[in-house]
Chain A
Amino acid sequence: MSQQAAGTAFAALIRRDFLLAYRRRAELLQPLVFLLVVVTLFPLGVGPSPQLLASIAPGVIWIAALLATVLSLDSLFRSDFDDGTLEQMVLSGQSLALISLARIVSHWLVAGLPIVLLSPLLALWMNLPDAGVLVLIKSLLIGTPVLSLIGAIGSALTVSLKRGGQLLSLLVFPLYVPLLILATSAVNSAIVGLPYSGQLGLILAGMIAALTLAPFATAAALKLSLS
């Protein structure tokens, strides 16, 4: 398959995904509303003391972002699997890794990027100190692609199961733990004035590793699910 054909297929898939996302706006908003609700509930639950909120803010925002992403992961391949689209894509002769990458990219653009854009608002709600806001946004910007990339592997593995959702969260949460630790530690370091570039660097390295490897793992998982 020539490079040009691969590029055309990639673009066609992204275009379709955006159109589908637009038509299924409600489905798209659900994880974001969930994210907002979870973050809103924390001050009500633990008490509105500004100091307390500031100290738990990085963890709360990151955990809420993680949960919101996992909510949207199950649909990553489900509808294409159910209506036979995935089967046709596999047979089209296009590389399955490329197809997976296109799905992951569009998933991040419609599910990950909005979280990054909402994060300043969340930081304000949680009374996150100013020194931490920019680092929080940065950590989400390079961290949410990792959520989509690793999540895609789990989503592809569980797509053939009728109720793969619960299993999916069991599969991917342990893999998200290092990311959560690094990201919250970066924001906390920034708040107390310590260097944080080490943690961000590690997240970035993880993102690059996931970006190069996850599409192939996802493709292999999809093959397994289809046979």
Chain B
Amino acid sequence: MLSISDLSFERYFERVFEPVSFNLTAGSLLLVTGPNGCGKTTLLRLLAGLLEPSEGSIDCQQQPLYAGHDPAIKDDLSVAENILFWMRFMGSRDSNSGPERLRRIIDKVGLSDVAQQQGRTLSAGQRKRCSLARLFFCNESLWLLDEPYANLDRDAIDMLDSVLKTHLDAGGVCVMTTHGSLRPEGFELQECRLHSGRHPYTGAGA
């Protein structure tokens, strides 16, 4: 479903990370780990097609869903209006089933209390929840999640794990990055550790 070989990316003639290869079949979850700045986000943006690889190839049949660090939430729109816009824009098949479905999704991401509040009033965690609402109405089978656990509380992490489980059980694929401390629990997963392409820091005076 998604296979990449010897993929690497150069920025200013310097490799961001050492070449990576992997092959994902339906229902698999890949965890990309590594310290800050090792190129996890760059790898995900390459997979999403937002960047062109310098070397190697990506074989991916369909348009992925990419949830990055920028939440794509409008400060001047309410939570409900934000989510409704994306439902309509993405052409979600049953976006016409109307307020009932919208209300259910807002309920699922736990934002019912703030549904009518403007985007600017949301906390970092609420913003993350709002941007993750997309997972509930997308049709994509490949998910690219960049640090999905960042800023989330326990409830939201459980919510994310459960929607991820449903997705994987239905034959979907997910690539997820994390810098370490928070990991998906109870999943069978492959791990890909990224190594920075730059010369490793060896300490002062070394």
A residues sitting closer than 8 Å to B (CB atoms) are: 1, 4-5, 8-9, 11-13, 15-16, 19-20, 23-24, 79, 82-85, 87-94, 226-227
Contacts and interface: CB of A to CB of B under 8 A. Distances in A.
Given A91-B48, A227-B52, A84 B68 contact: yes
30 contacts: A1-B91, A5-B91, A8-B88, A8-B89, A8-B95, A9-B88, A9-B89, A9-B91, A12-B88, A19-B77, A20-B74, A23-B77, A24-B76, A82-B70, A83-B70, A83-B71, A83-B73, A83-B74, A83-B75, A84-B72, A85-B74, A87-B50, A87-B66, A91-B48, A91-B49, A91-B50, A91-B66, A93-B63, A94-B89, A227-B52
Contacts, number: 72
Given A83-B73, A87-B70, A93-B63, A13 B49 contact: no
Nearest to A227: B51
B81 interface: yes
A23 B118 CA distance: 10
Contact of A12 (B70, B75, B89): B89
A67 B70 CA distance: 32
Q: Which 4 pairs show the lowest CB-CB distances between chains A and B?
A: A84-B70, A12-B88, A5-B91, A23-B76
B64 A88 contact: no
A85 B130 CA distance: 13
Contacts of A84: 68-72
Contacts of B73: 83
Given A16-B85, A87-B66, A87-B72, 9 more contacts: A9-B88, A9-B89, A12-B85, A20-B74, A83-B73, A84-B68, A91-B64, A92-B63, A92-B89
B140 to A, nearest CB: 9
B91 A85 contact: no
Nearest to A12: B88
